[in-house]
Amino acid sequence: MSVLTAENIGITFSQRSHPILENINLNLTSGSITVILGESGCGKTTLLNILAGFQKPTNGVIKLNNVPLHGPDETRAVVFQEHALFPWLNVEENIAFSLEIKKVPKALIASQVERILKIVGLSHAAQLNIWELSGGMKQRVGIARALISTAEFILLDEPFAALDAFTRENMQKLVLDLWIEENRSFFLITHDIEEALLLSEQLIIMQANPGRISQRLELNFSKRYRNGENIRSIKSDPEFIELREKLFAQLSHNIEEGYNA
Ligand SMILES: Nc1ncnc2c1ncn2[C@@H]1O[C@H](COP(=O)(O)OP(=O)(O)OP(=O)(O)O)[C@@H](O)[C@H]1O
């Protein structure tokens, strides 16, 4: 089992006097699903960039199985909020791109792409151009590109922010299905309290100025989905609603405190 660890992560940007992140400690184990929830500007994307190896922290270290990591590598793949797809390539070419670069044999690429298209429900759209896709389909291509890699850790930065409520719930279902079927670790940033509650085994709540972890919750709503309960039934459960309202009140209090600071 692999573990990606953030140890005492802090970062201060040179043009700012105060730290953006301070003393962040995290453990992501393979097969787990972790969600980060926090107000705008508390440093969620910065933390994801540090975990991905795109950004170097000022303090602390990212480790994989206790070995320090010093940049991006094949163990971590990122799905961005903006789909970051290549508009001049069609759906299957976008998904195949990273394998083409590595000069993987054509037949192997074709079978991998076919497998991943099936997993994300896009087999019918393999030949479509990117501009012919809906927002949800584009985000499926983004996820497919991460899944075709061998990355054990899939890091998703607010992947569904731009989607309507129905498509969003469809995508939440896709993430849960992938988590159940693929033995990988998912780390997802969201602003959406319902999404955070539904998708996380480990829910990390962050506060701003400096960005820090204010709370960690172990939740079982995702496990209830794994055990066969449907998403609407979970989201309308009184326990879910009570926790949603509690977190809403808590986060709005944090934001008001931030305004008054
Ligand atoms: N490279 C950088 N240089 C200077 N400041 C930066 C840099 N990257 C991020 N910041 C600042 O760090 C803070 C945290 O930004 P970040 O995007 O990580 O927050 P966030 O919680 O993801 O926000 P949102 O939810 O709005 O996307 C912001 O004030 C941002 O302006």
CA 48 to chain centre: 8
- How far away, in angstroms, is 231 Cα from ligand 1 center? 32
**Which runs of E-coded beta strand occur in 30-71?**
33-38, 59-64, 67-68
* Alpha carbon nearest to ligand 1 atom 17, residue: 45
Note whether residue 81 is domain-resident.
no
Q: Which residues pair with 205 in a beta bridge?
A: 37, 215
CA 217 to chain centre: 17
Position 149 scores a pLDDT of 85
Note whether residue 27 is domain-resident.
yes
**CA distance linking residue 253 with residue 128, whole number of Å:** 46
Note whether residue 128 is domain-resident.
no
Note whether residue 162 is domain-resident.
yes
**CA distance linking residue 182 with residue 176, whole number of Å:** 10
Closest to 154 in 3D by CA, of 31, 45, 37, 57: 31
Q: Are 204 and 45 in contact (CB under 8 A)?
A: no
Domain that holds residue 202: 3-75+151-260
Whether the link from the prior residue into 238 is cis, omega within 30° of 0, is: no
Position 161 scores a pLDDT of 81
Specify the CATH number for the domain of residue 196: 3.40.50.300
Q: Are 34 and 28 in contact (CB under 8 A)?
A: yes
Note whether residue 192 is domain-resident.
yes
Top mutation candidate among 9, 12, 13 for ligand 1, by most atoms within 8 Å of CB: 13
Position 104 scores a pLDDT of 87
Note whether residue 137 is domain-resident.
no
Note whether residue 247 is domain-resident.
yes
Query: Looking at the 3D structure of the chain, how many domains does it have?
Result: 1
Position 260 scores a pLDDT of 59
Complex ipTM tops 0.90: yes
Which tokens sit at 129?
Answer: 């151009």
Position 22 scores a pLDDT of 95
Note whether residue 141 is domain-resident.
no
pLDDT 10s digit of each residue in the chain, 261 long? Answer: 889 999 999 999 887 778 999 999 999 998 999 999 998 889 999 999 999 999 999 999 999 999 999 999 989 999 887 668 889 999 999 999 988 888 889 999 999 899 889 888 889 999 999 999 888 888 889 888 888 888 899 999 988 887 788 888 888 888 898 899 888 899 999 989 999 999 999 999 999 989 999 999 999 999 999 999 999 999 999 999 999 999 999 888 776 766 655
Position 83 scores a pLDDT of 67
Top mutation candidate among 12, 15, 20 for ligand 1, by most atoms within 8 Å of CB: 20
The finding on whether 13 has its CB within 6 A of some atom of ligand 1 is yes
